[in-house]
Amino acid sequence: MTHASIKSLLAFALVGLTTLVVAGCGNDVPPGAVAKVGDSEITQDEFDKWLKTAVMGQAQGGAAAVPDPPDYAKCVAAKRKTPAPEGQSKPTEAQLKKQCKDEYDQLKTEVMQFLIQAEWVQQEAEQQNINVSEKAVAKSFADQKKQAFPTDKAYNEFLKTSGMSEEDILFRVKLDQLQQKLTKKVTEDSTKVSDAEIEAYYEKNKKRFAQPERRDLRVVLTKNEAKAEQAKKALEDGDSWNQVVKQYSIDEASKAQAGRLPAVAEGQQEKALDEASFTAEKGSIEGPVKTQFGWYVFEVEKITPSSQQTLEQSKDTIKNLLRSEGQQKALDKFIKDFREEYKEQTDCAEDFRIPECKNGPKEDKSKDPAAGGPAQPAPEQAPNPENPTP
């Protein structure tokens, strides 16, 4: 894992937490909170803290101004200090305010998603008696820290620029491990694949385990028939393919390989050349063959017969494929069956409503993983660390 991806894992929110469900009853959001998930509150202080973290993460050590609704006075003031690009006029106050509002709306959605989904994970893990020890979290964190930061100084600098404490990072690492355990539990039964299922798949998909006949060709392509005849005669007189291709070929790709076209399967070449090369005898100089690209002279240097993998040879491949498909189906079913139910347990304050909230705006189904949007992480894998959320 690269230095950048480890930093991203520590600096940004987890992906795919929407797969998890909580039981309980949603109630009106109390004062001082931005949302309530079951009986648990997400406070305004938590939101403000992670909003600041998101802004600092985007700034990457540069000047960071947290958008401050409703007037955005501090945000506008900070943007006013930024020089306009050369040749462009300075934006107006109204334009700067709109920039601040747009940034806030985007960050608000990302922070709320993170906080709500993190709460879902923790509650579902508790309900299913899934735990992650402090020792396991500490070890995972230490391993990632060692890979990402060459020195303690670099790590401390990261803490300053990210706006996070070590406690915040440990929280994210714990969420990651909880999600992996939950995903594994959801999909564990689907990893069992019987011999009968493997055999049935093999019989239905035999062609997928077959290799067609392949031929290694040597070719020379010329502009006209006369040049092709000259090239053919030179070969028949004993000139090497290297010499003839270098002198006559107009095809730079095959010319760079001394005319070699290795492991060609039927149907891969232009029709006339394809038909001629798969009826030719091995070792015979053939052509000229007219095609849309010019005139070919060719030789079949090697023929690799078609082959069919047996059931026994294919067994491991099929088993892994069916296991993977089963895991994904189980995960998809889990998402489909429980996402709506879980949303019913999540209430958000008026200014903090997002699609994850029961009382939030209507969801864009084209972006919903359960409806063909971005895929959930594969079973037993960590979430993508490059998700640009807080």
Same domain? 297 vs 367: no
378 domain residue, yes or no: no
What pLDDT, on a 0 to 100 scale, did the predictor assign at position 103?
A: 93
CATH number at residue 245: 3.10.50.40
What pLDDT, on a 0 to 100 scale, did the predictor assign at position 225?
A: 96
Q: Please report how the helices 3-11 and 152-162 are oriented relative to each other, as an axis angle in degrees rounded to 10.
A: 40
381 domain residue, yes or no: no
CA dist., res. 20 & res. 118, Å (int): 10
Which of 285, 305, 325 delimits the end of a domain?
305
12 domain residue, yes or no: yes
232 domain residue, yes or no: yes
The domain in which residue 72 lies consists of 3-191+317-371
Same domain? 70 vs 158: yes
What pLDDT, on a 0 to 100 scale, did the predictor assign at position 247?
A: 95
67 domain residue, yes or no: yes
Same domain? 120 vs 167: yes
42 domain residue, yes or no: yes
Which of 305, 331, 354 delimits the end of a domain?
305
What pLDDT, on a 0 to 100 scale, did the predictor assign at position 386?
A: 30
Same domain? 113 vs 225: no
pLDDT along the chain (390 residues), means of 10: 40 37 53 93 95 84 80 91 84 93 94 93 90 95 94 92 91 94 86 92 93 96 96 96 96 93 94 96 95 96 95 95 91 76 87 92 57 29 32
CB count, 10 Å around CB of 279? Answer: 9
Which of 305, 335, 360 delimits the end of a domain?
305
CA end-to-end distance (rounded Å), the chain? 20
Same domain? 149 vs 238: no
Same domain? 9 vs 133: yes
Residues 78, 65 contacting (CB under 8 angstroms): yes
CB count, 10 Å around CB of 232? Answer: 23
348 domain residue, yes or no: yes
Same domain? 173 vs 321: yes
Which residue(s) pair with 358 in the sheet?
A: none
Residues 61, 167 contacting (CB under 8 angstroms): no
Same domain? 153 vs 97: yes
CA dist., res. 274 & res. 84, Å (int): 61
Same domain? 217 vs 184: no
Same domain? 71 vs 217: no
Structure tokens at 281: 């005898």
CA dist., res. 92 & res. 157, Å (int): 35
Q: How many domains does the chain have?
A: 2
Same domain? 275 vs 322: no
Closest CA to 103 of 59, 49, 155: 59
Order the strands of the 346-348 sheet from edge to edge. Answer: 40-43, 33-37, 346-348
Which residue(s) pair with 37 in the sheet?
A: 40, 346
28 domain residue, yes or no: yes
For CA atoms 67, 68, 73, 78, the dihedral sign is negative
Same domain? 291 vs 360: no
